[in-house]
Amino acid sequence: MVEDGVPYPTLTGRAQFHIDHPWFLEADEGLPRHKDSPRAGGDLPLVVTGGHPRWSIHANNTTNRLLLETTRGHPVLQLHPADAAARGISDDDLVRVFNEVGEYRVPAKVSPGVRPGQVILYASWEPYLFPGWRDGTWVEPGMVKGLHFAGGYGHLGYAVLQWQPQQSDRVFRVDVERA
């Protein structure tokens, strides 16, 4: 598109920020803007975020010996020292992460690089690396945003099993306790 001048697959053929689809306008999302996340998962004190770690994308490299040297070699839930102290959690304690949807267990990593009120579980770890094969998906509410079904309108299009056109970054509510 940039190098060869091929038009973008949008209504205008250019990079486009305004979406004038009636559903987006009704939801006040015609332009990108901040909206607080819904309290999915329950009225709990911590917010889960995540993403792909630098050492792998998907699960290809979670058993690569060299790349495992950049991690603890197993999944961890990162949390702020104040949140850990309030719950009596020390570094590498096994913790129970739970909400109204479900629960899983994972070792804790106490880190000042995490905001208070936030916990981070990075993607790419296979379920067999968690006790009982229960990974982070066991607490995901699985909410689908209705706007993402507005297909057939320029670049908008729903794809089966993709849930939505952008990653939600797993912003939903949980609490954590020592297992």
Distance in angstroms (rounded) separating the CA atoms of residues 155 and 114: 35
Percentages of the chain per state (helix, strand, coil), in multiples of 5: 15, 20, 65
pLDDT score, position 167 = 46
Name the DSSP class of 129.
G
Triad 51, 56, 57: Cα angle to 5°: 60
Distance in angstroms (rounded) separating the CA atoms of residues 87 and 123: 24
Q: How far from 110 is each of 81, 89, 128, 162, CA to CA, in Å?
A: 6, 8, 23, 32
Three-state DSSP at 117 gives coil
Query: How does DSSP assign 149-177, residue by residue?
Result: G--SBTTB---TT--SSS--TT-EEEEEE
CATH architecture of 40-178: Beta Barrel (2.40)
Question: Mind listing the pLDDT tens digit of every residue in the chain (179 residues)?
Answer: 888 989 888 888 888 888 889 999 999 999 988 888 778 889 999 999 887 766 665 666 666 777 777 777 789 999 999 999 999 999 999 999 999 999 999 999 999 999 999 999 987 788 898 999 999 888 988 766 778 778 778 778 766 655 544 444 557 899 999 99
pLDDT score, position 76 = 93
pLDDT score, position 62 = 64
Distance in angstroms (rounded) separating the CA atoms of residues 76 and 89: 13
Q: How far from 95 is each of 23, 79, 122, 139, 162, CA to CA, in Å?
A: 41, 11, 16, 14, 30
Domain ranges of the chain: 1-35, 40-178
pLDDT score, position 79 = 96
pLDDT score, position 35 = 84
pTM to 2 decimals? 0.76
pLDDT score, position 165 = 46
